A and B are shown apart, each in its own frame.
Chain A
Amino acid sequence: MHNDTIVALATPSGSGAIAVIRLSGNNAITIVDSHFKSVTNKKSLAKQKTHTIHLGHIVDDGRTLDEVLISIFKNPNSYTGEDVVEVSCHGSAYIQQEIIQLFLRNGCRMATAGEFTLRAFLNGKLDLSQAEAVADLISSDNEASHKIAIQQMRGGFSSEIAKLREELLNFASLIELELDFAEEDVEFADRTQFKELVDRITFVLKRLIDSFAVGNVIKNGIPVAIVGEPNVGKSTLLNALLNEDRAIVSEIAGTTRDTIEDEISIGGIGFRFIDTAGIRDTKDVVESIGIKKTFEKIDQSQVVIYLFDAQKNIDQLESVRIEIEKIRNKHPQKPLLVIANKIDTLDDIQLAEVNKSIADVLLLSAKTGFGVEQLTNSLLNLINTGSLRNDETIVTNSRHYDALLKAFEEIQKVKHGLETRLSGDLLAIDIRQALYHFGEITGEITTDDLLGNIFANFCIGK
């Protein structure tokens, strides 16, 4: 059993205003207590109630390290289910290290990655899906993924599977009834009704499986490819989007030399903007490689933004239109936003010209900020009108996703079996497998369930 006490920095490493050092285990309170001097110098932490906060100093052999706030959580009412102490100290890396080192010298051990959550799981504070959701929660960096993780933590989505499983279980019971009580006067399972049920299950499974793609996108950010010539104003546009929301998350180097990805949170949803070169026809070998890459990037994206310099192209709007057509033809299903940038440099006649030549064009000036709000709204609309709605169940856990895929596969076999009038015992193999995969999400299916169901509902036995 985990009797030892673990310690780790709970806030991100590096300097900040404050940092939180967390201890968990049997001796968490005593270890901190022996190096804590309350402001009144009279307090013993061990005697304090759970869920209380105490001001004082961490003292090492007479030397005061820092002024701190101590939060006490006594078992079992803590995150890990053990005694937990959180030391809020000042955020300098030096102070953090000094305090942690002090605890390590006095009976603590450095926590391994995820060990607090592991203990919470082992102490029954979280179930497996919840523990996984915590991991997601920690790494979630936008509102939508946060929401899903929270929903998952409350066990939201397994109830939908539980419902399906129950219906399938009834189905399975009927089949088993036919098999084990064939000698008797039992009603045979109505195959047409089964087919309907299987179709319904197929539909729901498909929706859940598809939601994984959305869920995954939300977790990792929605990839948006920006197609445009160099100097078309991509960075300015990204900066404008940033100003709108003031929340750049990260800037990571693209997977290829010529792409840069920027992750920006808009309206609580993460977007990953992928820079690409243009697709203008060229005979230049290097550039034609670039075009090929652009299309690859478009492939990987959920949304495409076609950005052009309105001023520079005012006389070549026809070739712009052809390029847009080219993208549309290649990816007819992909949402495409066409943006004319630098419209602050155009006069009214030129604006009308752009509007006339290019259908559904969004007029924008990254420099003045005109049209940026319309762009963010368009982006959010694309997402909201898609399969992501607040009340819908979304699958983000890859273990669940895997189980759903396998269940789907088995259900297709059941469907096929029904169509070819496969005998019940062979049909049952696939049904059981599907039930097993549902069980991976909701809880165990045992054959007892089948029998219990049979006995509860049917008159059998000589």
Chain B
Amino acid sequence: MLCAPKRITTSLGISVYKLFNVYLQNFCLELILFHVEQFNQERMFSDVYDVIVVGAGHAGSEAAAAAANMGSKTLLITMNLQNIAQMSCNPAMGGIAKGQIVREIDALGGYSGIVSDTSAIQFKMLNKSKGPAMWSPRVQSDRMRFAEDWRLLLEKTPNLDFYQEMVSGLLLESDKIVGVKTSLGIEVKAKSVVLTNGTFLNGLIHIGDKNFGGGRAGERAATGITEELMEIGFDSGRMKTGTPPRVDGRSLDYSKMIEQPGDKDPEKFSYLDITKPLTEQRSCHMTYTSPEVHDLLREGFDRSPMFNGRIKSVGPRYCPSIEDKINRFADKDRHQLFVEPEGWNTVEVYVNGFSTSLPEDVQFTALKSVVGFENVKFFRPGYAIEYDYFPPTQLKHTLETKLVDGLFFAGQINGTTGYEEAASQGLMAGINASLKVQEKDPFTLKRDEAYIGVLIDDLITKGTEEPYRMFTSRAEYRTLLRQDNADFRLTPKGYNLGLASEKRLERMEEKQKKSDAFVQFFRETSVKPEEANPVLESKNSAPVKQQDKMFRLFARPNITIDDVRKFKAVDQYIEENNLDPEVIEQTEIQVKYAGYIEKEKNNADKLNRLENLKIPKGFDYSRLKSMSMEARQKLAEIQPVTISQASRISGVSPNDISVLLVYLGR
């Protein structure tokens, strides 16, 4: 506008105009050059980042840490730097299947395990009465310390920059990502971008009949990205999740509740020895709802966004709101409520099991009728939140999008729920973004190698209609995917990536060497009847007539390490070799469950044979008339890489697979 000359009409006519025009053009050019120079001097982000991570929740934090630790120049952009690694829902890490994931993250060299240990206020190994595949570590966390420890760890990570701003757009060159644009209009260039937007994309919070935009209670929603991605050609959907009220612990009567203390001998998540098991723990408490509470809640149903149609999106079936539980299981007259402290020092308490989006007055009245909550004071009401996600079938196994080169998604944006699920995706996306920039081979995990492998393969192959949470039953070979052997499974891989430290590898190798030797000791050492039989008889196990190998006795049901430790030679071996509890436990598992582990390995090998049957890229499924229309559409959409992956797609029957095999000439 400045340089657009008006036509000057003088006696000199056109020539004056021309001269003036030339002058103006020069002036304009100089002005532009001056401005560009000045802008360059002042620009915050002049360099091109290797990896930009958008969002600093569990996914974003792991992604940023992984990429930076692998040597990529990384920028972490988040809307609020005060809220790095927030636990938006319950103050706990791990649990059944989830605890295994945290162990896997730790084994690969991620931070979640370390932070879970340093911020823990209570530790429990769940399912200890079942087989070792079911043992699942879980901690109650100090919510504030968790976030602080994460932030401090990230600040100590080399190659990592931070910036607080909302990312509102992506910079693309044809189908390749080249950076992001912030709401202030700043453009930051990058070779790859990891989006971990959580529940922030067009987040809408519901409490009763009120609703307002927001990504978390008290934080605004992120806008712009969904719309831009849809314009590029991405499909998006809407999901819902919820959270219960937080209350004042000083207003509760714990004497009316059941105390739930932590384990007597607490363990921990990280395989490294930089964290220590808890020496002091805080208890949780349990109480129950009652028919009276249910009636009070029902009175608010007409104002519930769940029931009046205001919330249309799908919530997780396994994490239902209290109103959902009452509605669907009307015959149950009570539900468990877990009263969880939010930290060492705070009085705030999380009421697990009372997730709700009913009006705050209904929440309050109903909760007051719960035993122990008669004088309850609210800190924050529960709420439901709806947010955008992108069906994960639009991703490759590396979590890179199929549509945009260099763009990765991780966490709730992929339709998952849970800190652990998000963190593991962040780790994998961070690793792969980094590998891509470094022009190295991608890194993926198979279903028999890690829960992380199961998680990502499920997402990519089956997609998800509801928030996806990990269960042990999702894994075909859970006996192999134990919390005790995540280091054996993954630390060598993490080390090769440059993520797991040398120290980690050494510790793992030491543990492996020692437990292998100990197993061998049981195979080779015999025990005489006079020493064995008293121990066997005390456990109602048949006595032996002649001396027998210890391995055989140890493998019997009911016989535990504590029993065989009564044999002199065993105790002596432990002492001489200075075996720690981890090695002893590992040995016990390998002796007692050898048969099952072997069996699952064989089954997994069978699967891997199909895993090796590759489907050519761009295979035209529309020609396969013998397949159901549904199967053809699904296969065309997901483009599985192997026959094995194809067989896991819902809607693809074994018959369809045999057609495919016939076509591929098998």
A contacts, CB < 8 Å to B: 1, 76, 81, 118, 121-125, 127-128, 176, 179-185, 420, 422-426, 428-429, 432-433, 439-440, 443-444, 446-448, 450-451, 455, 459-462
Contacts and interface: CB of A to CB of B under 8 A. Distances in A.
Interface stretch (B37-45, B427-435, B471-479): B471-479
B96 A180 contact: yes
Contacts of A183: 95-96, 126
Contact of A429 (B129, B338, B596): B596
Contacts, number: 122
Nearest to B334: A185
Given A446-B650, A459-B335, A122 B625 contact: yes
Contact of B654 (A176, A440, A448, A461): A440
A423 B130 contact: yes
B663 A448 contact: no
A76 B625 CA distance: 10
Contacts of A428: 473
Contact of A179 (B336, B472, B662): B472
Contact of A451 (B134, B474, B478, B593): B474
A196 B471 CA distance: 28
Interface in B550-578: 557
A426 B316 CA distance: 28
Contacts of B131: 423-426
Given A179-B130, A423-B131, A429-B599, A461 B318 contact: yes
Nearest to B138: A183
Contacts of A450: 473
A1 B325 CA distance: 53
B127 A179 contact: yes
B355 A462 contact: yes
Interface in B607-666: 623-628, 647-648, 650, 652-655, 658-659, 662-663
B6 interface: no
B23 interface: no
30 contacts: A81-B625, A121-B659, A122-B624, A124-B627, A127-B655, A128-B655, A176-B471, A179-B130, A180-B96, A180-B97, A183-B95, A184-B336, A420-B557, A425-B472, A425-B479, A439-B654, A440-B654, A443-B654, A444-B653, A446-B650, A447-B475, A448-B650, A459-B325, A459-B328, A459-B329, A459-B332, A461-B325, A462-B319, A462-B336, A462-B355
Contacts of B528: none
A360 B209 CA distance: 89
B372 interface: no
A394 B75 CA distance: 67
Contact of A462 (B133, B338, B626): B338
A444 B654 contact: yes
B352 interface: yes
Nearest 7 A/B pairs, CB to CB: A124-B626, A459-B329, A455-B317, A176-B473, A461-B318, A425-B131, A462-B353
B451 to A, nearest CB: 13
B25 interface: no
B246 interface: no
A365 B654 CA distance: 57
A123 B336 contact: no
A133 B411 CA distance: 49
A185 B318 contact: no
B96 A179 contact: yes
Contacts of A459: 320, 325, 328-329, 332, 335
Contacts of A122: 624-626, 659, 662-663
A229 B233 CA distance: 86
A124 B353 contact: no
B149 interface: no
A461 B96 contact: no
Nearest to B599: A429
Contact of B126 (A182, A455, A461, A462): A182
Given A122-B624, A122-B626, A185 B335 contact: yes
Contacts of A121: 626, 659, 662
